[in-house]
Amino acid sequence: MAEEFGFEVRATLPNGVGRAGVVHTPHGDIATPAFVAVGTQATVKGVLPQTIADCGAQAVLANAYHLYLQPGPDVVDEAGGVGAFMNWPGPTFTDSGGFQVLSLGAGFKKVLAMDTEGLTCDDVIAEGKQRLARVDDDGVTFVSHLDGSKHRFTPEVSMGIQHQLGADVMFAFDECTTLMNTRPYQEASLKRTQAWAVRCLREHQALTTARADKPYQALFGVVQGAQYEDLRRKAARDLAGLEVEGRRFDGFGIGGALEKENLGTIVGWATDELPDDKPRHLLGISEPDDLFTAIENGADTFDCVKPSREARNARVYTLDGPFNIHNAAHKRDFRPIDAECDCQVCAHYTRAYLHHLFKAKELLFNTLATIHNERFILRLVDAIRASIADGSFDELRRDFLGRYYATRRLPRQPGEDRPGGGDKRAG
């Protein structure tokens, strides 16, 4: 096991921003760019940890909110940390829980991105839902989505939970706003998140000292600021320069809801202000065009529930674009999902069989479809990483996206009326 946490850049794109490198953790190295598979409740739903490793995953991300509610961080700590608990030997990440507290509390479940043209509201709530979370300057009081019990998260509570979960990479507790929030609220929220960042660093330092017998856990600050350039840049500068009792952030997350067409611009604002010698994690993306855009603008790692969630809903990926395998056309289709895919599902199972499993509501469908989708995204990111090193990034992007989106509209342009993309964290 490595002793500490670190990052090194090994290749860059001609723009000097996108890069390939290595994140060093106590449980192994992560070659970047890297897609971190989401195992919200210490499991990638329906798939063995060894199978996720066989798909090419280098790290998994679990969620503090969900593991706090069940089985409890003390149980995970006693097991030796989330990696040991789930029998995953490699690097692990944990989300702070802030996204789930606020998104579930507002009734939006896993996605805070939305089409908000003409809308502003500081008490955002999904239609037909009741608010389950309330924010104040000290923290968030919320009601469990499981049993209605009342709980409270503060920066100190989140740090305590994440230290017990024992992940190699943790995230500071932040307030995740929506695009519907007004500019004054975004400003106030940014100040709150900055104050929470100070408290997270202080508590992280105390817990690192108290748990000196444990492997070192890195802490990432989270850059918020919604769609505003000045707020995003200020957030990044403030977090990059923050030092509390000799402790600085080991890396940075870029979070919050954002409009898809502005993804690259917003990531670029943040990475322009962040230090080059620390890794940047973009929370909640996996769409192929977003991956290329994020990487080009300096993101090193990213996670998203989408590949596994879409798999469970019968949407599977191919080089010629995704399709719904439950459609009747696949009932007698004895081809693999994607003839050019190297996953075990495509090697041994047909579309007709998967169609049957889904229609019969067999649990095996979830496992097989998830294996395929996770491998598809992991393989794409592997190819992007290699293309940065050999200089073929632009060619790969042109060829891959041209084929993937050939039968659909290409990614939207500014002003087009389509739902936004953004922070789709574990949930």
- Kindly report, residue by residue over 254-302, the tens digit of the pLDDT: 998 788 999 999 999 999 999 999 999 999 999 999 999 999 999 999 9
Average pLDDT over all residues of the chain: 89
Q: Is 218 helix (H, G, I), strand (E, B) or coil?
A: strand
Which pLDDT does position 1 carry in this prediction?
Answer: 40
Most confident of 40-44, 148-152, 259-263: 40-44
When mean pLDDT is compared across 1-5, 210-214, 313-317, the lowest value belongs to 1-5
Which pLDDT does position 20 carry in this prediction?
Answer: 98
For 129-182, where are the alpha helices, taking DSSP H only?
155-165
Q: In the chain, count H helices and then E strands.
A: 15, 16
232 and 326, same domain (yes or no): no
170 and 279, same domain (yes or no): yes
Active-site option among 168, 250, 289, 303: 303
Q: Is the pLDDT of residue 110 over 80?
A: no
For the range 345-350, what are the long-range contacts, defined as Cβ-Cβ under 8 Å and sequence gap of 24 or more?
345/369, 345/371, 345/372, 345/375, 346/372
243 and 362, same domain (yes or no): no
Which pLDDT does position 3 carry in this prediction?
Answer: 52
- Cα–Cα dist 7/253, whole Å: 15
Q: Is the pLDDT of residue 131 over 50?
A: no
Q: What is the pLDDT of residues 373-386, one digit of tens each?
A: 999 999 999 999 99
Share of the chain above pLDDT 90, in %: 79
129 and 257, same domain (yes or no): yes
* 95 part of the active site: yes
In a domain, 272, yes or no: yes
**Phi, psi torsion values for 262, nearest 5 degrees:** -105, 10
pLDDT band at 111 (very low <50, low <70, confident <90, very high): very low
In a domain, 164, yes or no: yes
In a domain, 417, yes or no: no
193 and 92, same domain (yes or no): yes
Active-site option among 95, 174, 238, 338: 95
Domain count, the chain: 2
Mean per-residue pLDDT for 109-118?
A: 38
Domain endpoint, select from 287, 311, 335: 311
359 strand-pairing partners: none
304 and 365, same domain (yes or no): no
Which pLDDT does position 352 carry in this prediction?
Answer: 98
Q: How would DSSP label each residue in 23-76?
A: EEETTEEEEESEEEEE-TTSS-TTS-HHHHHHTT---EEEEHHHHHHTT-HHHH
| Omega cis (within 30) before 33 | yes
Residue 174 vs residue 118, higher pLDDT: 174
349: tokens are 């199972």
274 and 371, same domain (yes or no): no
Which pLDDT does position 176 carry in this prediction?
Answer: 85
Q: Which domain holds residue 345?
A: 317-404
Element (H, E) at 272: helix 263-273
296 and 369, same domain (yes or no): no
93 and 190, same domain (yes or no): yes
410 strand-pairing partners: none
In a domain, 426, yes or no: no
Q: Is the pLDDT of residue 411 over 60?
A: no
pLDDT band at 114 (very low <50, low <70, confident <90, very high): very low
- Cα–Cα dist 402/392, whole Å: 15
Which pLDDT does position 129 carry in this prediction?
Answer: 45
327 and 283, same domain (yes or no): no
266 and 341, same domain (yes or no): no
Mean per-residue pLDDT for 25-34?
A: 98
Q: What is the pLDDT of residues 60-97, one digit of tens each?
A: 999 999 999 999 999 999 999 999 999 999 999 999 88
Q: Is the pLDDT of residue 126 over 60?
A: no
Which pLDDT does position 108 carry in this prediction?
Answer: 33
In a domain, 416, yes or no: no
Mean per-residue pLDDT for 336-345?
A: 98
In a domain, 38, yes or no: yes
Is the Cα dihedral 103, 108, 111, 114 positive or negative?
negative
In a domain, 103, yes or no: yes
pLDDT band at 427 (very low <50, low <70, confident <90, very high): very low
Q: How would DSSP label each residue in 385-404?
A: HHHHHHT-HHHHHHHHHHHH
Which pLDDT does position 134 carry in this prediction?
Answer: 83
Which pLDDT does position 164 carry in this prediction?
Answer: 98
In a domain, 414, yes or no: no
* 115 part of the active site: no
Q: pTM for the full model? A: 0.89
| Residue 80, domain CATH | 3.20.20.105
Question: Pick from 274, 269, 297: which is nearest to 285 by CA?
Answer: 297
Q: Is the pLDDT of residue 133 over 80?
A: no
Q: Is the pLDDT of residue 18 over 90?
A: yes
Q: Is the pLDDT of residue 368 over 90?
A: yes
Q: Is 19 helix (H, G, I), strand (E, B) or coil?
A: strand
251 and 397, same domain (yes or no): no
